[in-house]
């Protein structure tokens, strides 16, 4: 039996079902591990408590660029403390840049992104990167400041050309439900071109729900539809996608 890993899912933000229900639904659909990122400063304490409730749920800590305006440097020490006392906190994320929603705090976003990249290096943890409408600045900061951490470009939204530049740096690309949308031609091309050994799966639940549930709340169980679409696009067996992406996720996030 092949299994899947949802490398980015906000089960603490679900409204239609509980976190407990989402975890059980995932297991019922052979999704063996879930990774839950922090986004807001408040999540820094919420996620560590959440992952303690479930054997197969792990956490990432960081502050999303939309919350840059709420940053406090004390967050860095708080993250360190959680990592030291909770071995299920296995990455820094989601962190990065987002110029789609917030163009007023671009310099602040960059500053906080750099601080969190340096923290990930210090803690020897991988990084889940949020990059929306900020490809060049995200790339440049990671290339300059990241020294040792494995990089996952969460919910990758760039072109095939940009994906190749990321791959040259040794980074991994995570693809979510957008690849199932009929209009997502660019993402479909990326899904076909990325080497299987550098590909990860995610839902970003409760957002970006894949077909056939588009328009409804997303959940980790639906990551299988992402895998199915990638298999279809690449004209390879579903099992091959599942096995490769699960192996990749276990390597990147030290789950082996």
Range of the structural domain that residue 39 is part of? 4-252
In the chain, the number of structural domains is 1
Instruction: Tell me which long-range contacts 188-194 makes (C-beta under 8 A, separation of at least 24).
Output: 188/233, 189/160, 190/156, 190/158, 190/159, 190/160, 190/163, 191/229, 191/230, 191/233, 191/234, 192/233, 192/234, 193/160, 193/163, 193/164, 194/163, 194/167
Average pLDDT, consecutive stretches of 10 residues, N- to C-terminus, the chain (256 residues): 96 98 98 98 97 98 95 97 98 96 90 98 98 97 98 97 98 98 97 98 98 97 98 98 98 94
Q: Which two tokens stand for residue 141?
A: 């900061």
**CATH number of 65's domain:** 3.20.20.140
**Which pLDDT does position 104 carry in this prediction?**
84
* Other CB atoms within 10 A of residue 126 CB: 21
**Which pLDDT does position 155 carry in this prediction?**
97
CA–CA separation, 233 and 165 (whole Å): 22
Alpha-carbon distance values, 145 to 74, 104, 113, 124, 173 (Å): 21, 23, 10, 14, 19
pTM: 0.97
Given CA atoms 171, 155, 63, 30 in this order, what sign does their dihedral have? negative
């Amino acid at each position: 039996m092949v299994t899947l890993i949802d490398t980015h899912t906000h089960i603490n933000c679900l409204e239609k079902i509980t976190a407990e229900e989402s975890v059980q639904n995932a297991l019922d659909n052979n999704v063996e591990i879930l990774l839950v990122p922090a986004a807001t400063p408040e999540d820094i304490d919420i996620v560590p408590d959440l992952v303690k409730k479930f054997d197969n749920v792990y956490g990432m800590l960081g502050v999303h660029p939309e919350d840059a305006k709420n940053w406090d440097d004390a967050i860095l020490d708080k993250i360190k403390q959680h990592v030291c006392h909770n071995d299920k906190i296995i990455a820094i994320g989601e962190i990065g840049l987002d110029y789609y929603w917030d163009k007023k705090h671009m310099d602040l976003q960059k500053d906080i992104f750099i601080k969190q990249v340096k923290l990930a290096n210090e803690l020897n943890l991988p990084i889940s990167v949020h990059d929306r409408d900020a490809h060049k600045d995200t790339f440049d900061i990671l290339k300059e400041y990241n020294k040792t951490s494995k990089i996952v470009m969460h919910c990758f939204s760039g072109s095939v050309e940009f994906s190749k530049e990321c791959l040259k740096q040794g980074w991994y690309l995570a693809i979510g439900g957008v690849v199932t949308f009929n209009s997502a031609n660019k993402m479909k091309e990326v899904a076909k071109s990325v080497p299987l050994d550098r590909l990860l799966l995610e839902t970003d639940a409760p957002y970006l729900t894949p077909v056939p549930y588009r328009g409804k709340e997303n959940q980790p169980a639906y990551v299988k539809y992402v895998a199915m679409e990638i298999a279809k696009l690449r004209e390879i067996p579903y099992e091959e996608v599942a096995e490769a992406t699960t192996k990749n996720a276990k390597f990147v996030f030290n789950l082996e």
